[in-house]
Amino acid sequence: MPVHNADIATIFEEIADLLEIENANPFRVRAYRNAARQLQGMGVPAADMVAKGEDLTELPGIGDDLAAKIKEIVETGQCQFLEKLRKKTPPTITELLKIPGLGPKRVRTLYHELDVHTIEQLARAARDGRIRALPGFGEKTEATILEAISAHVEKQARFKLAVAAQYAEPFRKYLETIPGVKQVVLAGSYRRSRETVGDIDILVTATDAEKVMDRFVAYDEVKDVMARGPTRATVMLKSRMQVDVRVVDKDCFGAALQYFTGSKAHNIEIRRLAQERKLKISEYGVFKGEKRIAGDTEESVYRAVGLPWVPPELRENRGEIEAARAGKLPKLVEFADLRGDLHAHTKATDGHNTLREMAEAARERGFEYIAVTEHSRRLTVAHGLDPQRLRKQMNEIDRLNGELKNITILKGIEVDILEDGRLDLPDDVLSELDLVVGAVHSKFHLSRAKQTDRILRAMDHPHFTILAHPTGRLLDSREPYDVDMLRIIRQARSRGCFLELNAYPDRLDLIDVYCQMARDEEVLVAISSDAHGTRDFDNLIYGVGQARRGWLEKKDVLNTRPLKLLKPLLKRTIS
């Protein structure tokens, strides 16, 4: 692909933004902004000047350093200096620049003074009244930021992954019943297992595209037909979810699937790799000149640019291209790798089924073990267990383990972490359990320092095993509490305990970035359902998707171990 002046200017603007967030020399920042303006207003393509060997330093405001970077961008499609800056900055911080009224200077202040680097943290800081105290902000600015965040979120209305699945999967099966249909694949952010989905993209191969279009728009749940053509159509479902379908030729199916799976950032990098090889990639295939040389499969697309196939969940431009190039892509964990579930509830507290029913349901799914982890006494709304009731359940578990075959019930508790870091039950009863799952269920608005210290103190407890839903978030209804996750992860490593990836669809907590951080720090993650009924075990598939987005392999997940290897790990905490 040709590199336009606007492409180079966009890169220089991002460099300037990141440098300004880092509080770099203002003259250096200004040089990149001036160069961006120069390129945007220049009638002659910089790429043409590079191709002719012309001296770029003759352009106003372009010195040797910037000239070298322009040449690099034209020839490679990327800028190593920008990649270096991206690695030094939290991956979510540039999202703040999308909020109207927040330029790099204000983002820098928020980042350095309040440790804000996500939109969720920004909203919390504004609601807590912490922004108004910063130099150059004030109450009016704080209120404006809240309004801008609200408008931004509303503009990007999305569906939780599990909710999207309720509409997407039946639609897919419906299309598969059409005579002549060969393949139906759900693409987009749904295929990448993003925790929320904006719309659904469906790709189809079929012998009769018109018949697919007729049946697509006639689907029972379609409310409005927004567009229809010979091979593509867009509808709005009654649920207000938009669905796009495209019927593609089998020879370009792989290219279309790669293109419509995304993400945009990943696809840009793939196209740049193609450019280096003098190839062009589109939804119709990989072309050398006018000849299509690949595109029937996704594998052929990646092979054409010198890479192995990249799993959809990794396609976010967070290092997967480099890993693929180096032959270091992870072999991602799969649902079939799970040997059991380490977080479940029964009728003894706020669950809907008995111990036996939960154990039998786990066994039906091929699990070797299930940990029953009722709430502790402080959570009165869930009828949490006191020591006496917990011991009664432990005796019942022993009895059932003597009766049930091919499933073992582990004795556990989801114990509340109190505000001062103490656990909600005494040591003598905790010491009798197979595992102790600690959880924050109150005081979500403590300061970052207090919340972090609270959890660290709890993890110091000799019987602490797993930190449940580590950030406490509920998608669309409760923001994560403010906590230093790197310190938490390193505490888990030093103590020999673990973090939970809670697969409950409203949580999906750990987020993918923290999963990758845990992997890098060699801390095992438990993918747990937090089941309150027998059907909730099915939610583990969403936890596996989140784990895959976080680069987790089978070895990185605690409950991929068989019981005989799991038990020693549960008892290895370091005093």
**Statement: residue 36 has pLDDT above 50:** yes
Alpha helices per DSSP H over 422-484: 427-430, 448-459
**Residue 355 pLDDT:** 96
Superfamily of 335-570 according to CATH: Metal-dependent hydrolases (3.20.20.140)
Top-confidence residue, 147 or 279: 279
**Residue 37 pLDDT:** 76
Q: How confident is the model at residue 41 (pLDDT cuts 50, 70, 90)?
A: low
**Residue 408 pLDDT:** 98
Top-confidence residue, 55 or 103: 55
**Statement: residue 154 has pLDDT above 60:** no
**Residue 423 pLDDT:** 97
**Residue 575 pLDDT:** 47
pLDDT (mean) for 242-259? 96
Check: CB of residue 286 under 8 Å from CB of residue 300: yes
**Statement: residue 479 has pLDDT above 90:** no
pLDDT (mean) for 44-71? 88
CA dist., res. 383 & res. 152, Å (int):
39
pLDDT (mean) for 397-413? 97
Q: What percent of the chain has pLDDT over 70?
A: 97
DSSP 195-218: SEES-EEEEEEES-HHHHHHHHHT
Long-range (24+ apart) CB contacts under 8 A made by 568-575 are: 569/498, 569/524, 570/410, 570/434, 570/435, 570/465, 572/496, 573/462, 573/463, 573/464, 573/465, 573/495, 573/496, 573/497, 574/494, 574/495, 574/496, 575/462
**Residue 288 pLDDT:** 94
CATH 3.20.20.140 location in the chain: 335-570
CA dist., res. 398 & res. 504, Å (int):
28
Report the DSSP beta bridge partners of residue 291.
288
pLDDT (mean) for 466-475? 94
The pair of structure tokens assigned to 247 is: 């019927």
Among 74-78, 305-309, 401-405, 427-431, the least confident range: 74-78
**Residue 146 pLDDT:** 87
| CATH hierarchy code of domain 252-325 | 3.30.210.10
Residue 477's Cβ-count burial label (10 Å; 0-12, 13-18, 19+) is exposed
450's CB contacts (< 8 A; 6+ apart) are none
**Residue 574 pLDDT:** 54
**Residue 188 pLDDT:** 96
How many other C-beta atoms can be found within 10 angstroms of the C-beta atom of residue 64? 9
Q: How confident is the model at residue 342 (pLDDT cuts 50, 70, 90)?
A: very high
Q: What is the model's pTM?
A: 0.76
CA dist., res. 455 & res. 447, Å (int):
12
**Residue 14 pLDDT:** 86
**Residue 533 pLDDT:** 87
How many other C-beta atoms can be found within 10 angstroms of the C-beta atom of residue 253? 21
**Residue 573 pLDDT:** 63
pLDDT per position as a tens digit, 486-527: 999 999 999 999 999 999 988 999 999 999 999 999 999 999
Check: CB of residue 509 under 8 Å from CB of residue 469: yes
SS (H, E, C) 26-59: HHHHHHHHHHHHHHHCCCCCHHHHHHCCCCHHHC
pLDDT (mean) for 299-324? 96
**Residue 46 pLDDT:** 87
pLDDT (mean) for 191-213? 95
Check: CB of residue 414 under 8 Å from CB of residue 375: yes
| CATH hierarchy code of domain 159-247 | 3.30.460.10
The pair of structure tokens assigned to 452 is: 């972090």
CATH 1.10.150.110 location in the chain: 5-155
CA angle (173, 175, 177) in 5-degree steps: 75
The pair of structure tokens assigned to 394 is: 């432990």
**Statement: residue 47 has pLDDT above 50:** yes
| CATH hierarchy code of domain 5-155 | 1.10.150.110
Residue type for 10, please? T
**Residue 379 pLDDT:** 79
> What are the start-end ranges of the E strands in 385-503?
408-416, 435-439, 466-467, 498-502
Mean pLDDT of the chain: 91
What is the SS3 assignment for 156?
Answer: coil
CATH 3.30.210.10 location in the chain: 252-325
Top-confidence residue, 160 or 393: 393
Residue 89 phi/psi, 5-degree rounding, is: -120, 140
| CA 99 vs CA 29, 108, 119: distances in Å | 21, 14, 9
CATH 3.30.460.10 location in the chain: 159-247
Q: How confident is the model at residue 104 (pLDDT cuts 50, 70, 90)?
A: confident
CA dist., res. 92 & res. 341, Å (int):
31
